[in-house]
């Protein structure tokens, strides 16, 4: 499954993906102005029996169709 090569667990920070795979390039050379993110990506895979599937599990035709949900969550707490 392709997702398992990019995301080793169900929750990953966007900034770790950006840094690791150089997805946040500065093509025009004007700088990134310190752009940061506190978001996390959450991957959820559910089979036809409503069972959660792990990122490293093998998908089989016997348990198809699968529901795949990708969501983002802000993990930063605010100081009030």
Number of domains making up the chain:
1
Indicate yes or no: pTM above 0.85: no
In the structure, what pLDDT confidence band is assigned to residue 2 with cuts at 50, 70 and 90? Answer: very low
Strand 39-46 with 52-53, pairing: antiparallel
Strand 39-46 with 67-74, pairing: antiparallel
Give the integer Cα–Cα distance in Å for 69 and 73: 13
| pLDDT value of position 3 | 45
Greatest Cα pair distance, the chain, in angstroms, is 51
| pLDDT value of position 40 | 81
For residue 14, being part of any structural domain is answered with: yes
In the structure, what pLDDT confidence band is assigned to residue 74 with cuts at 50, 70 and 90? Answer: confident
- The model's pLDDT over 6-55, given as tens digits with 9 standing for 90+, comes to 455 677 777 777 666 666 666 666 666 555 667 788 888 999 999 999 88
For residue 8, being part of any structural domain is answered with: yes
Strand 39-46 with 11-13, pairing: antiparallel
- DSSP assignment of 31-50: --TT----EEEEEEEE-TTS
For residue 28, being part of any structural domain is answered with: no
- Residue 49 is part of which domain span? 2-23+39-74
């Amino acid at each position: 499954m392709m997702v398992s090569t990019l995301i080793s667990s169900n929750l990953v920070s966007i900034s770790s993906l950006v840094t690791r795979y150089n997805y946040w390039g500065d093509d025009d050379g004007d700088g990134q102005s310190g752009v940061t993110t506190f978001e996390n990506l959450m991957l959820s895979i559910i089979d036809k029996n409503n069972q959660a599937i792990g990122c490293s599990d093998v998908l089989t035709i016997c348990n198809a169709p699968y529901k795949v949900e990708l969501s983002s969550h802000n993990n930063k707490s605010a100081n009030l």
